[in-house]
Structure 1
Amino acid sequence: MSKNTYTAIGFIAVLLWALLALFTVGSAPVPAFQLNAICFAIGGGIGVVWLLATGNVGQLKTVPLHVYVIGTLGLFGYHFLYFSALRLAPAAEAGLIAYLWPLLIVLFSGLLPGETLRRGHIIGGLIGFAGAALIVAKGANFNADALPGYGLAFLCALTWSGYSVISRSFGAVHTASVVVFCLATAVLSGIAHVGLETTVWPETTLGWLSIIGLGVGPVGIAFFVWDVGVKQGDIQLLGVASYAAPVLSTFALVVCGIAEPTWVLFAAAALITAGAALAAKASA
C-alpha cells in the first residue's frame, strides 16, 4: 500500500474519535476510569479475536518488552492524566491545553529520521489549533487556582504526542502489540477505578449500547488504525488532520440534537480544513 493509503487508514481513528463525546454522553452516569476499563477490555477483546482469526498471535512474542511498556504508558497515561486534569481544572480550559497534542506531533515529527518538517506543516498546525480552540474553549476563563490541572493537561498532550511519534520509530513492530496495550490499559484503569471512584453501572439499554460503541470504535479500533497510520503514513498530515476530531464531534452532537449549530462550528471547520490543506500541500 502507498503512504497515502496508510495515512487514510490512520485518519479513520480521527473519524472514530469524533464519536467519543456522543457515546460518552450516552454512557452516563458510569465514572471515567470504570468506563475506560470496560471500553479498553472490549477493544482488547476485539484485538484478540482479530489475532486468532488472522493467525498473528505469534507476533506478540516478537515485540520487545520496552515497546509494551511505552505503548501501555501512552494509552493509559494519556487517559489518566486527562481525567485527572478535568478533576482539577475546568473542562474547557483543560481540554484546550490537552488538545495541543496534534500540533506537538507535527513539531516532534521533525526530529524523526527521514522526516522533513516544513513551514507549511507548522502554519497548518497552528491554524488547525485555532479552529479547535474555537470549539473547545469558547467562553473559557483561565483560573490561577487550576494551575495543577492545566499542568496535567499539558502532560497529557505531551504523553499522546510522544507516544505517537515514538511509535513511528517502531515501524517494524506489528500492530498486534496494540492488543496488549489495550488489555494492560484496561487492567490499570480498573485499578484506578477501585482506588478513586465508586462503581456505577449503566441504567438503560442506551447506556450499555453507548459503552459497547465506545469499546468497538473510539476506544477500540481507533487505536489499531492510528498505529498503522503513524507508523507508515504521513505523520505530519495526520497530526494536523486530527484537529478535525473536535469539530466532527460537535457536528455529531448537533445531528443527534444534543448541541445547537453555531457560527463557531462552521468557522472552526473552515480553519481546520484550511490548516489540513496547507499541511497536505507541504507534504506534497
Structure 2
Amino acid sequence: MVKQEHTLPSRSALGASGSRSALVFAVGAVALWATNALVGKSLLASHSVSQVQFLQFVGAALVFALIRLIGRHGGRRRMPQDNGAGMSAALVPFAVGIIGLVGTMILQYVAFASMPVIEANLVAYTWPLMVAAAIIVLDRPRRPALLGITAALGFVGVALVISGGREQSWFQGNLAGYLAAFGSALCMAFYSIVVGRLATSPDRLLLPSALVGVALTFLWCVHDGVAWDIGPYLLAGLYLGAGPMGLGYYFWSRALKLDQGGKVAVVAYLTPIASTLLLTLSGERLTMTAIAGAVLVIGSCIAVGIEGSEAENHA
C-alpha cells in the first residue's frame, strides 16, 4: 500500500505569492494615481476645489462601501474585543485614515489650485522618497552616507522645482500652495509607513475617513456657495473619487500589507514619472531648471527605493 504524502506550501513560496500580489496591487494603484493630476487639472479649470473634492470623497466612499459590503458577504468576521482595548484600537486606525486620506487629498488639491499643477504634483509625490528615507534610517542601512547624499539631492530637486527657474524668482504659485503640496507628501508618507503595520483591513480603515471627507467638503461647498449643475464634470469628479482616491488607496493599502521584500516602495516611484509625462503630453511645461529638479527628485526616489529593497532582502 502506497503511503501518500501531503506537503504544505513552504513559507518562501507563500512569501513569493504574497510579493507578486503586492506588486500587482501596487501597479494598479500607480496606474490610477498617474491620472489624478491630469483629470484634476481639467476640473479645477472651471470648478472650485471644494466642489471637486466633494465629488471625490463621494466617489471614494461609494467604492469603500461596496468593498466593505462584498467583504461581509465573503464571510469575514470581526474579532471580539474588550471595550477598553477596542476603543483605542478603533481610534488609531481612524486617525491614520483621516491623516492619510483626508489630509493628503485636501492638501494636494489646495496645492493644485494654488500653483502650476505639474510642479505641485512633483512636490506632492516626494512622499515615496520620505517613506524610503524613514524606513532605511529606522532599519540601519548598510550605506548611510550614500543614502543621506541621495536623499539630500532629492530635496535639492524639490527646491529647484519650487524655484521654477523663471526670472530667477521663487514661488511661482503662492506660499500656501507649496506648503500644502509638501504637507500632502508628509501625510501620504505617514500613511504608507503606518498602514502596513495595522491589523485593520483597508476597507474598515478607509470608509470612515471617506465619510468624514464627504461631510467636511460638503460644508466647504456650502461655505463657498457652490452652484451645482449636471454635466460631464460630475462623472469626471466621481472618477477621481472612485479611481485614484478609492481604488488607488485600497490597492496601495493591500499592497503594503502583502509586501514581503520591500519591492512595493520601488513601484511607487513610477507615479511622479507617469503623472508628469501625462501632464506634459496635455500641454503643461516645465522650465529647464524645474526639469533638472524633476530629474533629481525622481532619480533620488528610485535610488533610495532600490537601496531600501536591497537592505530588506539582505536582512
**Is 1:214–2:240 an aligned residue pair?**
yes
Could you tell me which amino acid in structure 1 is paired with residue 245 of structure 2? V
Report the equivalent of 1:41: 58
Q: Within 5 Å, which residues of 2 pair with 1:131-146?
A: 138-139=164-165, 141-143=169-171, 146=174
Could you tell me which amino acid in structure 1 is paired with residue 72 of structure 2? G
Q: In the superposition, relative to structure 1, how do residues 102 and 182 fare at CA in structure 2: closer, same or farther (>3 Å)?
A: same
Report the equivalent of 2:200: 173
**Is 1:188–2:204 an aligned residue pair?**
no
Q: Larger Cα Rg: Structure 1 or Structure 2?
A: 2
1:251 to 277, 287, 294: 277
Q: Distance in 2 between matches of 1:176 and 1:61?
A: 18
Scaled by the length of structure 2, the TM-score of the pair is: 0.68
Q: Distance in 1 between matches of 2:188 and 2:72?
A: 30
Q: Which moved more, 1:76-85 or 1:142-151?
A: 142-151
Scaled by the length of structure 1, the TM-score of the pair is: 0.74
Q: Distance in 2 between matches of 1:133 and 1:13?
A: 27
Report the equivalent of 1:23: 39
Q: Deviations over 1:5-50 (max 9, x none)?
A: 3143123212211001222234342212221121121121122122
- Contact in 1 for aligned 2:164/2:172 (Cα 8 Å): no
Could you tell me which amino acid in structure 2 is paired with residue 42 of structure 1? G
2:127 to 87, 101, 105: 101
The root-mean-square deviation of aligned C-alpha atoms, in Å, is 4.1
What SS does the aligned partner of 1:155 have?
helix
Report the equivalent of 1:163: 191
Alpha-carbon distance, 1:204 to partner: 4.2
The size of the alignment, in residue pairs, is 277
Report the equivalent of 1:229: 255
Q: Deviations over 1:220-247 (max 9, x none)?
A: 1001011112233269544443232232
Q: Which moved more, 1:226-235 or 1:37-46?
A: 226-235
- Contact in 2 for aligned 1:33/1:193 (Cα 8 Å): yes
Alpha-carbon distance, 1:168 to partner: 2.4
Could you tell me which amino acid in structure 2 is paired with residue 215 of structure 1? G
2:92 to 47, 66, 71: 66
Q: Which moved more, 1:151-160 or 1:115-124?
A: 115-124
Contiguous gaps of at least 5 residues in structure 1: none
Q: Deviations over 1:53-95 (max 9, x none)?
A: 2326854987623211221232112233334456666656655
Contiguous gaps of at least 5 residues in structure 2: 1-16, 82-88
Could you tell me which amino acid in structure 1 is paired with residue 201 of structure 2? H
Q: Deviations over 1:98-143 (max 9, x none)?
A: 333211111222466xx56454876776677788888887546424
Q: In the superposition, relative to structure 1, how do residues 61 and 191 fare at CA in structure 2: closer, same or farther (>3 Å)?
A: farther
Q: In the superposition, relative to structure 1, how do residues 117 and 181 fare at CA in structure 2: closer, same or farther (>3 Å)?
A: farther
Q: Distance in 1 between matches of 2:115 and 2:183?
A: 14
2:72 to 45, 50, 55: 55
Q: In the superposition, relative to structure 1, how do residues 233 and 79 fare at CA in structure 2: closer, same or farther (>3 Å)?
A: same
Q: Distance in 2 between matches of 1:238 and 1:194?
A: 40
Q: In the superposition, relative to structure 1, how do residues 121 and 130 fare at CA in structure 2: closer, same or farther (>3 Å)?
A: same
